[in-house]
């Protein structure tokens, strides 16, 4: 068996951690299916809260740079996320921002359209199912007779991983395509030459349109915006040309256009191509040029048809974009 082969390369130490995340990224690691055997043959998983019972103190006890590879998924929303980001950075040689949330803030990043107070108000006071007459709010410290109970501090801002610690690579996606993870992982374990620090890996240089098979023309003129459920999609024409907002042009390819294959427009989870630092702004500029009117009133009417524009254009990228958050 390979594992007992004395000539085999020493296994690398690998960690997977979730910050402010949904769990999907961790599941995408499990999605390697039978390739998992290749992974465990080449790597020891030394920390992975979703799957293994290893405590934070065990990580704290490790030597600096002891972990070869950490996939940090999730955004940085609270003090616990931040503490682990710093801790894992210290213990890891190659830190990868794994998935949209670690990359640019992701879905939790939409929290930056609010602040801590308005989020707490909604969650602890005004949701239809909340009964909280004493207006109890989470506290970082609560004194009980047995001692002090602690909770992580909920921050005002959501941040991407690189806004907190130095990041070596970015592997985008919500979640990243498992095949891409395997490619990147194998590159690291086989000692292949790695791209320059700060690179986006497991994705293409070109944007999604390049791998999208739908028919595209220069006829991108929009009189009316539609939500996907409002149109009879012909399954072949570019979504934008049907008046449906598709983030494809402002989004890196590499996902295999799986949403498009499923007849859904791109939502932008792979983040912007290399030279477009703010995908939301880029896409809005592009959409602006497509609106087929020169009358201010008509333009306003057309723009009004875009459902949740901020959430649409910055769905995965708000904290990592130039605007970062809404000022309240």
Partner 1 sequence: MEEKRIGVYVCWCGTNIAKMVDVEGVAEEVGKLPDVVVSKNYKYMCSDPGQELIIKDIKEHNLNRVVVSACSPRIHELTFRKALTNAGLNPYMFEMANIREQVSWVHTDRKEATKKAKSLVTAAVARVAWHEALDKRKVDINPASMIIGGGISGLSAALEIADAGKQVYLIEKEARLGGHIADVDLTFPYMVPAAQILGPKIKRAENHPNIEVFKEAVIEEIFGYVGNFNAEIKANGSESRSLEFGNIIVATGLKPFDPSSVDLHGYGKLPNVVTSIEFEKMLQSGKIETRDGKEPKNIAIIHCVGSRNNDYHEYCSRTCCMLGLKYANQIKTALPETHVYEIYADMRSFGKGCEELYDATAKRKVMFLNFDQREGIPQITKANPGDCCEMLIDMKERLSNTQIEVPADMVVLLVGMEAREDAKEVAHHVGVSKCGNDFFIERHPKLDPVATTTDGVYIVGSCQGPKDITDSVAQARAAVARVLAAICQESGEVEVTPAVVNEDICCGCQTCVNVCPYTAISYDEEKNVSVVNEVLCKGCGTCGSACPTGAIRSRHFTDHQILSQIKGLMRTEMQEV
CA end-to-end distance (rounded Å), the chain: 60
Work out whether 260 is an interface residue with partner 1 (CB under 8 A). no
* Binding string, residues 168-207; x marks residues near partner 1 by CB under 8 A: -------------------------------------xxx
Closer residue to partner 1 (CB): 39 or 290: 290
C-alpha triplet 225, 270, 228: angle, nearest 5°: 25
The one among 4, 7, 232, 289 contacting partner 1 by CB under 8 A: 289
Closer residue to partner 1 (CB): 71 or 240: 240
Work out whether 253 is an interface residue with partner 1 (CB under 8 A). yes
Asked if residue 82 lies in contact with residue 5, where contact means CB atoms within 8 angstroms, the answer is no
Work out whether 294 is an interface residue with partner 1 (CB under 8 A). no
Shortest distance in whole angstroms from residue 1 CB to partner 1: 44
Work out whether 209 is an interface residue with partner 1 (CB under 8 A). yes
The one among 15, 88, 182, 250 contacting partner 1 by CB under 8 A: 250
Residue 114 CA to residue 233 CA, distance in Å, equals 34
The one among 130, 140, 142, 221 contacting partner 1 by CB under 8 A: 221
Q: In the chain, how many H helices and how many E strands?
A: 11, 9
Residue 86 CA to residue 162 CA, distance in Å, equals 11
202 dihedral zone (left: phi>0; alpha: psi -120 to 50; beta): left
**Residue where the block lists tokens 């477009």:** 276
Give the number of residues in contact with partner 1, rule: CB under 8 A: 33
Q: Are strands 169-171 and 92-98 parallel, antiparallel or unpaired?
A: parallel
The one among 286, 308, 311, 326 contacting partner 1 by CB under 8 A: 286
The one among 52, 61, 151, 274 contacting partner 1 by CB under 8 A: 274
Closer residue to partner 1 (CB): 4 or 213: 213
Shortest distance in whole angstroms from residue 249 CB to partner 1: 4
Shortest distance in whole angstroms from residue 286 CB to partner 1: 4
Q: Tell whether omega for the bond before 175 is within 30 degrees of 0, i.e. cis.
A: yes
Work out whether 272 is an interface residue with partner 1 (CB under 8 A). yes
Phi, psi angles (nearest 5°) of residue 304: -60, -20
Nearest to 20 by CA among 77, 70, 72: 77
Work out whether 220 is an interface residue with partner 1 (CB under 8 A). yes
Give 3-state DSSP helix, strand, coil % of the chain, rounded to 5: 35, 15, 45
Burial of 31 (0-12, 13-18, 19+ CB in 10 A): middle
The one among 276, 291, 306, 310 contacting partner 1 by CB under 8 A: 276
Closer residue to partner 1 (CB): 93 or 216: 216
Closer residue to partner 1 (CB): 81 or 321: 321
Tokens of 256: 């295999």
DSSP helix/strand/coil, 296 = helix
Shortest distance in whole angstroms from residue 49 CB to partner 1: 34
Residues that bind partner 1 in the complex, under the rule CB under 8 A = 205-210, 216-221, 238, 240, 248-250, 253, 272-277, 279, 282-283, 285-286, 288-290, 322
């Amino acid at each position: 068996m390979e594992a007992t082969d004395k000539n085999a390369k020493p296994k690398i130490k690998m960690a997977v951690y979730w910050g402010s995340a949904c769990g999907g990224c961790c599941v995408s690691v499990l999605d390697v299916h039978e390739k998992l055997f290749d992974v465990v043959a080449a790597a020891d998983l030394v920390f992975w809260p979703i799957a293994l019972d290893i405590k934070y103190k065990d990580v704290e006890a490790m030597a600096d740079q002891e972990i070869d590879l950490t996939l940090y998924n999730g955004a940085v929303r609270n003090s616990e996320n931040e503490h682990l980001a710093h801790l894992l950075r210290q213990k890891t040689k190659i830190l990868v921002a794994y998935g949209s949330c670690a990359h640019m803030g992701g879905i939790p990043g939409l929290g930056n359209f609010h602040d801590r107070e308005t989020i707490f108000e909604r969650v602890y006071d005004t949701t239809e199912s909340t009964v909280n007459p004493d207006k109890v709010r989470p506290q970082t410290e609560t004194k009980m007779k047995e001692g002090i109970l602690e909770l992580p501090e909920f921050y005002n801002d959501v941040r991407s991983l690189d806004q907190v610690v130095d990041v070596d690579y970015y592997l985008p996606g919500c979640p990243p395509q498992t095949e891409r993870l395997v490619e990147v992982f194998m590159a690291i374990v086989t000692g292949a030459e790695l791209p320059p620090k700060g690179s986006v890996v497991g994705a293409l240089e070109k944007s999604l349109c390049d791998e999208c098979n739908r028919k595209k023309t220069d006829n991108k003129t929009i009189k009316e915006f539609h939500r996907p459920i409002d149109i009879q999609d012909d399954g072949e024409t570019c979504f934008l040309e049907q008046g449906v907002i598709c983030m494809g042009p402002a989004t890196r390819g590499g996902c295999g256009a799986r949403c498009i294959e499923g007849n859904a427009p791109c939502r932008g989870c792979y983040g912007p191509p290399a030279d477009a630092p703010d995908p939301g702004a880029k896409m809005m500029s592009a959409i602006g040029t497509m609106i087929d009117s020169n009358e201010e009133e008509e333009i306003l009417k057309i723009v009004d048809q875009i459902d949740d524009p901020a959430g649409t254009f910055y769905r995965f990228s708000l904290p990592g974009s130039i605007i970062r958050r809404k000022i309240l």
